[in-house]
Chain A
Amino acid sequence: MNFLKKYLDRVRPNFEEGGKLHAFHSVFDGFDTFLFTPSTTSGTRGAHIHDSIDSKRTMIIVVAALMPCFFFGMYNTGYQHQLALGLDKFPFWEMMLYGFLAVLPRVVVAYVVGLGIEFIVAQWRKEEIQEGFLVTGILIPMILPIETPLCMIAVATAFSVIFVKEVFGGTGYNVLNVALVTRAFLFFAYPAQMSGDKVFVATGTALGYGQPVADGFTCATPLGQIATQTSDQLTLTGIDGKVLTTWDAFVGLIPGSFGETSMICILIGAVILLLSRIADWRVMFSVFAGGLIMGWIANMCATPTYPASYLSPLDQLLYGGFAFAAVFMATDPVTAARTRTGKYIYGLLIGVIAVLIRTYNNGYPEGAMLAVLLMNCFAPLIDWCVVQANISRRMRRANLTSKNA
């Protein structure tokens, strides 16, 4: 790799102050540090050695943890498409290819728009390019229905990167989870295209590959079906009309947002995040605990007015984006609570509110996204209380000793 390093060193002067390509110095810097670990060394006082971990490593582990869900999403997109066509043959590689081609433009749009803005802002602020969007860019297509129009993804991504992240100062300073705001923006700005029966299954051709499904096809997600249920006899059906079992939901062969359906893959991701200590187990654990508690309470007082209350607490965790939000969204260290005690409270409330919204508000079949965003707003307040406890402990101690003295 020495020739590459030499090449970069040779062209570097062009990008430095006064060079003719100075306008692209952040981009050059970004690629340079991406390819070669910077050889910047520590100062003359302070720690002389540093751990190998940096934010690139951190972000790439999260992306790796998302990969099982991503690949399963490709498979499931193809699978649901085959079902919608009424076929009973499921050729693996063709389904994977269809899913891949269906999601590819969405990934590309999210990355091009988001990273483009990051590059421009980094250049403008004369900073290094930050890695936060590596994760956000892959999350965005994963939490959206597969049929979300590309132009809407572009608009929503641009909105959240600019107004949720960059105006606050960039990675590390945002209050709200950028990927979730993209989802919420789409949800509220384009409600017709973002919910209902049409968007969760890929019906057209994917970049010209596959057969289109006949017009007039509709199918709701399990939570969508529950929200319109009127009796306590819940039967959830797949898009081929067959009954969906809990096992189907656990494996993830159900209609839903691209990467959110498979509990198995989410759990694999969770194991990666927890073993690598990138995500905090306190948050993850307490989101599930909160969901179970609220699911149990709702189930205890089940009523036909709120059909989702008939779901068992475990089913509450299984359907929709709950598990995905618990593992990948709530654990975002920047927007979550930062204190240890705060993390338990933060997670617990996300779990409770997610189930609360989806059960008692028929307008929103899914509450996980809104619950995380709501608690993002409250995380600083929770932390403030925990910090105040530390402060008043110190004050009490001071008063005690001054009294004794």
Chain B
Amino acid sequence: MEIKLKKGLDLKIAGAVTDLTVHQADTKVFAITPDDFPGFRPKVDVKEGDAVMAGAPIMHDKNHEDVKLVSPVGGIVKAVVRGERRKVMRIEIAKDENQTFRQFDVASSLDGDGAARLLAESGLLAEMRQRPYDIVPDPAVAPRDIFVTAIDSAPLAVTPELAVAGKTKEIEAAVALLAKICRGTIYISVRPGSKIGNINGAKIVTVSGPHPAGNAGVQAANIAPVNKGEVIWTLDIVTLARIGELVLNGKRDFTTLVAVTGPEVARPSVVMTCEGASVASVLAVSPLKSSDHHVRIISGNVLTGTVTAKDSFLHFPYRQLTVIAEGDDKVEFMGWASLSPAKQSESPTFPGHFFKRPITPDARLNGGRRAMIMSGEYDRVMPMDILPEYLIKAIIGRNIDSMEKLGIYEVAPEDFGAAEYVDTSKLPLQQIVREGLDYMREALE
């Protein structure tokens, strides 16, 4: 199967990884942040000072007790960090010299229920998403189809295939496990010329086109869109390989390849560590340029990532770290009238649009927030059969009926990343979509 997408936006940003050599990080402290897992209401299962094995549960979901978040390493619980009203911000774990791995009972996962329980118990379910609502899947609901993406089309991302090279056996084992849960087809999307060959039990889809072509939800919308009442699961190929590891060895594999990218990184490179690693340990391997301005460290890519700090931790999906200038210390005189080719823009109103060299963006909004004025801007970068302006307006109006009719079940915030970048009115589209999805879920459940 082949899909060619035309709409979208490939941003060329300075600081791409050119050398794919993997460098090993020496990380001592790790942390799991429950906010990275939408829909997961954390209940802490450990206290500070507890010894945990790699794979041991540290939190479970209040709504679905089976669904766990697990410790990525063996060690001691260093801190349970809480915020306002005792909200769990993260659980930090200090790594031990000797790693002990929790052994999972794979033999019990012969049927669909058992397989779902294994995924939930091992923390792997939390690394998947379900549509509608873009949340951690409900293990009790069998998905119609499962969409696995082996593409990361986001700016500066390194192909996730790097992390699964030579893991065909694991991938096939994982597909076999998911096939017990899934009622329909398991799709694996790859770029043309991918090294992932045929996978038993899965349907390979070749996807070409600009970002967000790599988003599993965008692929689903172009293969078999989510209708009202249907549920699909989405995950990336790295998670799929981790499932395979679990099935074959009974142990969780937490290693992850982090692409350290962006204009503020001295030598962008790929760093190997484990899920939830401390940012400092990753930047120790791939340091930042020395600079006299503020920088923004983003866990993830520039369109959908989460801000983190040097003394903080990686956020899910633990695949990329992008560092850009913050820009709050810049003084720009009449920027809206500028003819400077250095101003990055997708709009031909700026000369910079016509230069195809990589841009060095900062985090400024570059304008004031306005009502939706221009039309058709989001359409150009959303390869889905959705009318994004109308959907956004329905969400802002909290009109459940309209949201449903306009296809809110098909979207996730990440699909609006490129639209949020090009928006003249500077609306926080992803936040609007997130709030809309949460509102829908609360109203309907």
A residues with a Cβ closer than 8 A to B are 1-2, 4-5, 33-58, 60-61, 128, 130, 132, 169-173, 275-278, 280, 333-334, 336-340, 387, 390-391, 393-395, 397-398, 401-402
Contact = CB atoms under 8 A, between A and B. Distances in A.
A170 B371 contact: yes
> Across chains A and B, which 5 residue pairs bring their CB atoms closest together, nearest first?
A54-B367, A172-B371, A37-B335, A398-B227, A56-B336
A293 to B, nearest CB: 24
B345 A51 contact: yes
A344 to B, nearest CB: 13
Given A35-B333, A48-B302, A171 B370 contact: yes
Interface stretch (B50-58, B90-98, B109-117, B414-422): B414-422
Interface in B303-361: 303-307, 322, 324, 326-338, 343-350, 352, 361
Interface residues of B, number: 77
Contact of B370 (A5, A130, A398): A130
B431 A46 contact: yes
25 contacts: A5-B333, A35-B333, A38-B364, A39-B327, A47-B303, A47-B304, A48-B305, A48-B324, A49-B13, A52-B335, A52-B352, A53-B347, A53-B367, A53-B424, A54-B367, A57-B367, A58-B349, A58-B374, A171-B371, A333-B373, A338-B376, A339-B375, A390-B385, A390-B406, A391-B405
B335 A53 contact: no
Contact of B326 (A5, A41, A171, A339): A41
A49 B387 contact: no
Nearest to B420: A47
B430 A173 contact: no
A36 B350 contact: no
Given A41-B296, A338-B375, 12 more contacts: A41-B363, A46-B417, A47-B421, A49-B11, A53-B422, A55-B424, A56-B336, A171-B373, A172-B372, A172-B373, A277-B348, A278-B374
Contacts of B22: none
B307 A44 contact: yes
Nearest to A9: B331
B368 interface: yes
Instruction: Among A33, A173, A277, find the residue whose CB has the most chain B CB atoms closer than 10 A.
Output: A277
A49 B347 contact: no
A50 B366 contact: yes
B180 interface: no
A45 B421 CA distance: 13
Given A58-B424, A276-B347, A40 B337 contact: no
A169 B372 CA distance: 12
A58 to B, nearest CB: 6
Contacts of A40: 328, 364-365
Contacts of A393: 385
A281 B303 CA distance: 29
B331 A1 contact: yes
Contacts of B296: 41, 48
Interface of B: 11, 13, 225, 227-230, 296, 298, 302-307, 322, 324, 326-338, 343-350, 352, 361-376, 379, 385-387, 389-390, 405-407, 413, 417, 420-426, 428-431
Decide if the interface of chain A is mainly helix, strand, loop or mixed. loop
A298 B37 CA distance: 64
B227 A58 contact: no
Nearest to A170: B371
Instruction: Among A45, A47, A275, A391, find the residue whose CB has the most chain B CB atoms closer than 10 A.
Output: A47
Contacts of A53: 345-347, 349-350, 366-367, 422, 424
A47 B303 CA distance: 4
A130 B373 CA distance: 11
Contacts of B227: 394, 397-398, 401-402
B367 A44 contact: no
Contacts of A45: 305-307, 430-431
Contact of B349 (A173, A276, A402): A276
A365 B96 CA distance: 88
Instruction: Among B335, B344, B352, B373, find the residue whose CB has the most chain A CB atoms closer than 10 A.
Output: B373
A48 B365 contact: no
Contacts of B430: 45-47
Given A51-B421, A171-B371, A36 B333 contact: yes
Contact of B302 (A43, A49, A171, A172): A49
B371 A340 contact: no
Given A38-B368, A58-B349, A51 B373 contact: no
Nearest to B419: A47
A397 B221 CA distance: 12
Nearest to A57: B336
A56 B367 contact: yes
Contacts of B386: 390
A52 B343 contact: yes
Contacts of B331: 1-2, 5, 36, 39
A278 B344 contact: no
B421 A50 contact: yes
A169 B393 CA distance: 15
Given A38-B365, A46-B304, A336 B373 contact: no
